[in-house]
Structure 1
Amino acid sequence: MEVTMTRNDIISVLGPVDEAVIADIALTGATLEELREAFAWLGADEALVNEGRPLPGTKVARLIEILDMPDDEDGRQAASQ
């Protein structure tokens, strides 16, 4: 049984992020493990490919899209990197 992530789960992986990002992530229905995987891909995609890891699945790819959004109007990043 997959458990839905809480706000605190998301912050435990990403650090402080905008509430809209937290909401977008929660709406994906992804698991905490999928968020961790997306965060790893975001920071080291080439290394993970070289390691022979399979490309991210649909939910992980969506999380990567959310985390890789450009800065908002205030210059804040969507996720801490």
Structure 2
Amino acid sequence: MAITREEIVSVLGPTDETLIAELMATGASFEELREAWAWLNGDEALMGEGRPLPGTRVAELIDLLDVDEED
């Protein structure tokens, strides 16, 4: 099931409506968003657990969530 606005806010907190729309457009699930957030905020710990690298949709979410500091 595709992620909802409420699920996005529950993971990210208050966020930009454009980002919410972009995340929803991926068709990702709530679990995929949570996985992308976990990879973005602690990938070394996840790799240490022996988890596989993120799949294509999770990687797309990571790209959307990973804002360059220069922007």
Q: 34, 56, 63: which one pairs with 1:65?
A: 63
| Matching residue of 2:50 | 52
Q: Could you report, residue by residue, the CA deviation over 1:12-39 in whole angstroms, capped at 9, with x for unpaired residues?
A: 1110110111011001100000000000
Q: Structure 2: where are the runs of 5+ without partners?
A: none
| Matching residue of 1:76 | none
Equivalences for 1:1-81 in 2 at 5 Å? 3-70=1-68
Q: Which runs of structure 1 show a deviation greater than 3 angstroms over 4 or more consecutive aligned residues?
A: none
Scaled by the length of structure 2, what TM-score is found? 0.92
The percent identity for this pair of structures is: 59
Scaled by the length of structure 1, what TM-score is found? 0.81
CA distance in 1, matches of 2:61, 2:67: 10
CA distance in 2, matches of 1:4, 1:46: 28
Larger relative helix fraction: 2
CA distance in 1, matches of 2:19, 2:2: 16
- The root-mean-square deviation of aligned C-alpha atoms, in Å, is 1.4
> Residue 14 of structure 2 aligns to which amino acid in structure 1?
P
